[in-house]
A and B are shown apart, each in its own frame.
Chain A
Amino acid sequence: MTLTLAIPTHNDTGYLRRLLAQAHGLGVFDRVVLVDDASDAPVTRDEVCPPDAWPGEQLTILRQEECGGPGVARNRALEHVETDHVLFFDADDLLTPDLAALARVLRGRDFDFCLFRHADSRRTHWGGQGQMPLDEAHWRRAGVQVGELSVIGPAQAAALAETANYPWNKIYRTAFLRDHGIRCSETLVHEDVELHWMSFRHGHDILVSDRVGAVHFISPGGQRLTNRRGEERLAAFGPMNRLAAALAEGAPGRLADAYLHFVSGLFDWMRGNIAPDLLARLDAAVRDFLLAHVDEARFARLSRTDPVLARRIVFQMERGRA
Chain B
Amino acid sequence: MKENIAIGPDAQINHTLAVLRDGVTEGHMGNEVQLLPGVMLHADPALQVGGRYASPEGRLLEMDVTAGAEGGWLALHLSLAGRDYSDYGFVGLACRIAAPEPITVQPCLRSGTKKGFVDCFYDKHVLAMPEEASHLDALSIHNRPNVPLQAPWRELILFMPTHSFRWSLLDLRIFVV
Spell out A's residues near B (CB within 8 Å): 97-98, 101, 104-105, 129-130, 136, 139-140, 143, 145-148, 210-212
- Among residues of A, the one whose C-beta sits closest to the C-beta of B129 is A145
New A-B pairs, 14, CB < 8 Å, besides A105-B56, A130-B132: A98-B58, A101-B56, A136-B130, A139-B130, A143-B100, A145-B130, A145-B131, A146-B98, A146-B130, A146-B168, A148-B54, A148-B62, A210-B98, A210-B132
> Complex Cα distance A146/B168, Å?
7
B166 proximal to A (CB < 8 A): yes
Q: Which residues of A contact B166 (CB under 8 A)?
A: 146
> Complex Cα distance A211/B98, Å?
11
Contact B58 A212 (CB under 8 A): no
- Among residues of A, the one whose C-beta sits closest to the C-beta of B97 is A146
Within 8 A of A (CB), among B31-66: 54, 56-59, 62
Within 8 A of A (CB), among B129-160: 130-132, 134
Contact A140 B62 (CB under 8 A): no
Q: Which residues of B contact A212 (CB under 8 A)?
A: 132
B126 proximal to A (CB < 8 A): no
Number of chain B residues close to chain A: CB under 8 A: 15
B99 proximal to A (CB < 8 A): yes
> Complex Cα distance A139/B132, Å?
12
CB of A151 to closest CB in B, whole Å: 16
Within 8 A of A (CB), among B82-135: 98-100, 130-132, 134
Contact A148 B132 (CB under 8 A): no
6 A/B residue pairs, CB under 8 Å, sorted by A: A101-B58, A129-B134, A136-B131, A143-B100, A146-B99, A210-B98
Contact A140 B57 (CB under 8 A): no
CB of B102 to closest CB in A, whole Å: 11
Q: Mark B160-177, 1 if CB is under 8 A from A, else 0.
A: 000000101000000000
Contact A104 B57 (CB under 8 A): yes
Q: 8 nearest interchain CB pairs?
A: A145-B130, A101-B58, A101-B57, A146-B100, A146-B98, A148-B56, A140-B130, A136-B131
> Complex Cα distance A139/B130, Å?
9
Q: Which residues of B contact A97 (CB under 8 A)?
A: 58
> Complex Cα distance A166/B134, Å?
26
Q: Which residues of B contact A211 (CB under 8 A)?
A: 58
- Among residues of B, the one whose C-beta sits closest to the C-beta of A139 is B130
Contact A130 B131 (CB under 8 A): yes
